[in-house]
Amino acid sequence: MGTSRNVERRTILKAAGATAATLGLAATTGCGGDSGTSADGTVTIRYAWWGGEPRTIAIKKAIALFEKKYPKIKIKPEFTDYEAFWEKFQTQASGGNPPDVFQNAVGFLRKYDKRGVLMDLKAQADAGNLNLKNFRNGVLANGQVDGKQIGIPVGANTMALVIDQKAFKKAGVEAKFGWTWNEYFAALQTIQDKSKIAGDTGYFAIMYLYDLYLRQNGKAFFTDSALGFTEADLTQWWEDGYKRVKSGLVADPKKIEQAKPKSGLSAGLAASEFTWDNFSIRYQGEGDSDYGLAPIPTTDGKNTGQYLGSLMLSAFSGTKHPKEVAQFIDFMVHDPEVGKIMGYDRGILATTEQYDAFKPTDPNNKGVAAYEDEVAKAGILGKITPHPSGADVIEAAFLRIGGEVAQGKTKPADAAKALFSEAKAAFAG
């Protein structure tokens, strides 16, 4: 092809124009986020959460209600599943562009407080934009770090044992308050003998359960800045666990892995599974049996080590609309209508207004409520132990390394060593 020697000036100008346009485009896409105030004074705030579809539908209903009541505030929803949420959040937050309001959990409080991402909501409470009263069972303290209120609980939950009621009945065993670990494992043995299914889905890789076990023995998973147990403690815990996998008391980890995203319990691979009580609602939908909540086994017949954990709402310290953010959080945690819409999806409702407004009618929600009532009545609830910065990374490592032990790929002693070394790096990060 021949080229013209005389390139017209117009061509050059065109090229220049195209370039400028491209660069301009790049520049505009460079600055993300559209939180701001529009000409008519309407404020837009971004609200992000993780969770399944039912939660998303409910939250969107609640948002619609809020926008009706506060016509000058618009809420822009963002939601994903748990894993993706924190990956996205980390990137957004490091770029100074996290959502104005977001769902939070105790494992992330110190991490993001340390990085200056979380707003101390005390000032907004003092200004009258957010009510810090009427929280049940002292759960408000879950959102406090070093005297700051950086999270506002929306619901409270506690660890529980979910059991396959049919399997327990068939074997003639009963789960009762104050039973010991020995009694629990003996019950699992009976189930295995009579029904030919494993007893448990893999208790020893769950960080929050090990925390309870440690608390029963006067320790805890975390101290303010380190692990609250020794390598020898963990080696013992994992050695026992592996023995039970070998003997078939705990389900084959290979099968558990393949059942995902279904849980091992609802897939019929085992008769019981430890988890947070508000998660128990999923089993009925997933599995074919009847599922119920049972008490956590104890060491001394009394202390379960349990406490109320919670999901919370936090706000971005750099938000342009702190007042509106506080008003929104206040609405989400106190408004009775919101309580009715949300139910126990994020745990038993945290404020008295919402708790009184929602009366569960279905057996699942009723079961969760009854369980927490029973736990509260037993008077065994302790205070939540601290979760230092890095707790989230350690929880993932605990699950992964525990899985390696279960698969027989790592010896318990080496596994405990690996966890300690990874924890050290996580605390430093």
Partner 1 sequence: MTLVKEAPVRPAKKRSAAPAAGRRGRRRENLAGYLFMSPWIAGFLLLTAGPMIASLYYAFTSYNLFTPPKWVGLDNFTTMFQDPRWQKSVEVTLKYVVVATPLKLLLALGVALLLAQKRRGQALYRAAFYMPSLIGASVSVGFVWRALFSDDAVVDRTQKVFGVDVGGWIGNPDYVLYSLVALSIWQFGAPMVIFLAGLKQVPQELYEAAEMDGAGPLRRFWNITLPMISPVLFFNVLLESIHAFQVFGSAYVVSDTRCGPADATLVYTCYLYQKGFKEAQMGFASAMAWTLVVAVALVTAVLFWSQKKWVHYEEAAK
Contacts with partner 1, residue ranges (CB under 8 A): 2-3, 5-7, 11-12, 15-16, 18-19, 22-23, 26, 83, 86-87, 90-91, 93-94, 115-117, 252-261, 393, 396, 400, 403-404, 407, 409-410, 418, 425-426, 429
Angle (CA) 184 269 52, round 5° = 100
> Could you tell me which residues come within 8 angstroms of residue 351 by beta carbon, excluding any fewer than 6 positions away?
134, 135, 136, 333, 334, 339
- Indicate the residue among 82 and 383 with the shorter CB distance to partner 1: 82
Shortest gap between Cβ of 10 and partner 1 (angstroms)?
Answer: 11
Shortest gap between Cβ of 15 and partner 1 (angstroms)?
Answer: 4
- Indicate the residue among 20 and 127 with the shorter CB distance to partner 1: 20
- Tokens 């359960």: give the residue: 209
- Indicate the residue among 42 and 94 with the shorter CB distance to partner 1: 94
Work out whether strand 101-105 and strand 43-50 pair parallel, antiparallel, or are unpaired. Answer: parallel
- CA 377 vs. chain centroid, Å, equals 25
- Indicate the residue among 30 and 379 with the shorter CB distance to partner 1: 30
Shortest gap between Cβ of 377 and partner 1 (angstroms)?
Answer: 39
- Residue ranges of the alpha helices (H) in 287-381? 322-334, 336-342, 352-357, 363-378
304 SS3 class: coil
Angle (CA) 61 67 70, round 5° = 145
- Indicate the residue among 89 and 237 with the shorter CB distance to partner 1: 89
Shortest gap between Cβ of 245 and partner 1 (angstroms)?
Answer: 13
DSSP string, 92-107: HHHTT---SEEEEEHH
- Tokens 């318990």: give the residue: 412
Work out whether strand 152-157 and strand 348-349 pair parallel, antiparallel, or are unpaired. Answer: antiparallel
- Indicate the residue among 91 and 247 with the shorter CB distance to partner 1: 91
Shortest gap between Cβ of 57 and partner 1 (angstroms)?
Answer: 24
- Indicate the residue among 209 and 401 with the shorter CB distance to partner 1: 401
Distance between CA atoms of 210 and 415, rounded to whole angstroms? 15
Shortest gap between Cβ of 12 and partner 1 (angstroms)?
Answer: 5
From 46, 51, 47, 45, select the one nearest 311 (Cα to Cα). Answer: 51
Instruction: Let me know if 61 is exposed, middle or buried by CB neighbors in 10 A (0-12, 13-18, 19+).
Output: middle
Q: Helix count (H) and strand count (E) of the chain?
A: 17, 13
The answer to whether the beta carbons of residues 327 and 73 sit under 8 Å apart is yes
43 SS3 class: strand
Shortest gap between Cβ of 22 and partner 1 (angstroms)?
Answer: 4
- Indicate the residue among 5 and 68 with the shorter CB distance to partner 1: 5
Distance between CA atoms of 154 and 103, rounded to whole angstroms? 9
Shortest gap between Cβ of 424 and partner 1 (angstroms)?
Answer: 12
Shortest gap between Cβ of 320 and partner 1 (angstroms)?
Answer: 20
- Indicate the residue among 150 and 326 with the shorter CB distance to partner 1: 150
Shortest gap between Cβ of 260 and partner 1 (angstroms)?
Answer: 5
What type of residue is 286? E
Distance between CA atoms of 237 and 220, rounded to whole angstroms? 14
- Indicate the residue among 178 and 268 with the shorter CB distance to partner 1: 268
